[in-house]
A = this chain, B = another copy of it.
């Protein structure tokens, strides 16, 4: 199922290359976290890894490719968080509600990743939004919602309606997270997280009342 590991037949050079590539990604994230995405400049990244400017371009075709990689990385990390949350939840309902909280926490704690995932704060996305990592996140959400529906005896009409329901929950959480990041929610992140929880619970209740999704 996984397909992660290659046989470790890597030369020292190859290992160094992988490390340097990762260092570039880390440096970029670090600058974005500390100074915001407007401050992320190719020269600053190069300075931080203590290599000269053109070296960056040996590892990433251009700045957009660097951001695209961090975009995917963000989806991978969010997926991991949500999978972990679901697996340690005591019930399918809690899996959804805890997931909503975890989503918000990810948005604040990894703000720079969340921004690059959604083209916020001046990030220019040239990435196609339908990469495998984004799809994997949708699948995770569908699984969680399907589990919940089954546990509540709620009928899922078809794949489309399940997907619609997932989109609604996602849009709700994304709306709250992005408004909070833009400081447009009075009361800040604490209030925002509470709103997310409440609205998610309301939406689940609406589906429960309808008896179907």
Contact = CB atoms under 8 A, between A and B. Distances in A.
Interface residues of A, number: 39
Given A164-B195, A168-B199, A183 B120 contact: no
In the assembly, how many copies of this chain are there?
Answer: 2
Contacts of A184: 129, 134
A52 interface: no
A193 to B, nearest CB: 12
A205 B168 CA distance: 15
B203 A209 contact: no
A104 B171 CA distance: 13
B182 A171 contact: no
A168 B186 CA distance: 12
A132 interface: no
29 contacts: A38-B124, A119-B120, A119-B121, A119-B182, A120-B120, A121-B124, A122-B125, A134-B184, A164-B191, A164-B195, A167-B176, A167-B179, A167-B185, A168-B202, A170-B175, A170-B179, A171-B176, A171-B185, A171-B195, A172-B172, A172-B175, A172-B199, A174-B175, A174-B179, A202-B203, A202-B206, A203-B206, A206-B206, A209-B209
